[in-house]
Structure 1
Amino acid sequence: MGRFVIRRLLQMIPVFLGTTFLIFFMVHMLPGDPVRAMWGDKAVDPAQLASIRHNLGLDKPWYEQYLTYMGHLFQGDFGTTMGNRKVLDVITEALPVTVRLALLAFVFEIVLGVTIGLFAGLRRGKSFDKGTLILTLLLISIPVPVLGFIFQTVFATQLRWVTPTVQDSMNIGQLVLPALVLGSLSLAYVARLTRTSIVENIRADYIRTAVAKGLPRRKVIGTHLLRNSMIPVVTFLGTDLGALMGGAIVTEGIFNVKGVGNALYHAINLNEGATISGFVVVLVLVYLAASLIVDLLYAVLDPRIRYA
């Protein structure tokens, strides 16, 4: 197991470098001049623009800018915004909000998705199973902006259970509705994936053997059936955690959540390459860490899997 972890960590290095390189290159290729955009339509002295570009290192070739950026990054310096604010401060302010939102959505899709999928698989062909398939297909078909508007209309405007938009982004209670919208698509996939896996494994030989041995139904389902059926679900959940944080841009915009999505939206509009690259670096690290955790969980769920 130790050799596997070391090997996976070494594999992450080229992935991290390659991803940051592509993102930095694409940000550099965005049209527009971020320095000139600071003045909007106002006239500005060309000498002043050239001086600011020189101070920010934007007058160098993009590959030199990348090498300089990576050198600072490994020292913990994510650069500065056009407003002369440290990018690390922007990340530190926005990231906890998105982490709360993504983790809340993650809990919803695990608890509700796995539970619904389990009961649907155990009741294959019955009313609950058919209703689950219809409901999950409906959730998959509805775009997130439309679903967010529906949730706002029903739960905020008509029922008045919550406010239409988030007033305090640090308040967990106000993040419940955005988290439901954010995790709805993944919840539907988790439920369908769990249901399919349960249906496949419930007919396996080891389940029939466990039943023939007279094991209690709760132990057969919990220890044997559900544990083995969770392997494909865990694979999906591991990649989905990073997707939730990245996909929060739309949800945060709908509910006015001051998180990573909101900060990225403003950074893209202002063409602030350092801010965009900084947030992407964090999201890449989340993806890599989640991928490693998923691989390690395989051995926990299935003792037959050995990485040594």
Structure 2
Amino acid sequence: MKYTQIKHTELNASNIIMGNMRLTQLSLTEIEQLIRTALDEGINFFDHADIYGQGRCEELFAEAIQMNPSIREKMILQSKCGIKGQENYFDFSKEHILDSVDGILKRLNTDYLDLLLLHRPDPLMEPAEVAEAFEKLHSSGKVKHFGVSNHNPAQIELLQKYTPHKLVVNQIQFSIAHTPMIDAGIALNMNIDQAINRDSSILEYSRLHDITLQAWSPFQNGFFAGPFLGDLENFLELNKVIDEIAANYDVTNTAIATAWISRHPANIQVVLGTTNPQRLKDACKSTDITLTRKEWYDIYKAAGNIVP
């Protein structure tokens, strides 16, 4: 397993993150097996959110492994807040952030989070109010570090202006079949759709400001349009190229899809949402693979992208 030092923190985090969005689909025994598999493979980073299963996923996680201090110290726990799931709106108010963290800690049966992320940008955010919440959470020992999810550079700058706590993580969607954060840079100044800058250069901004990127939905096509691996109707050429490269490395297509993200020098962490222990193991084999430049570009082009 490769590990990434999240800058401005003491956290030495596994390159692969176990995401816990779908735990309600499993029994407690199956959840325990999945978590134990992750730990055995060297994964020490576990991602949650208060809206996953309306909080039930966090409860199941803690119940399945019988959370206690000896287990807790082996883990980096991250959760997210800011989405009012049932009401379908965003809330970055101080009161909501503080209440959310108390609920998260109770469900996870822990005294603190290593990382708290603001889940999706709230246009009604009062940055000074968020900063007050962060300071109270940090000074009380409930949250060690802070970050965001699905935020662009200007949104991060606005929030960072008001808080002394460095925003150290941004979790965004990224996969071979969803690459807007690299497309515009490759097709700069071309009069094609790929050249449209859709994310305000978040990749370059994050590298310049020492923000660790985390890729969610690493096997998804678009916004939950389904996995591209095995989709021969829409991604025949991509699957052909991935399968050929996988055969050369004697690994599965899952490992290659993961390795493609990890190959980027930004040291992007990959958030796996799988509930299948074997697929988790397959993905972890990516940490032993460094794709060549040609392999990386061959995969990118096979997904339908232009390299001028």
Fold-level similarity (TM above 0.5): no
Output the TM-score relative to the length of structure 2. 0.22
Higher relative contact order (CA 8 A, sep 6+): 1
Output the TM-score relative to the length of structure 1. 0.22
Q: Which has the larger radius of gyration?
A: 1
Q: Which has the higher strand share?
A: 2
Q: Which has the higher helix share?
A: 1
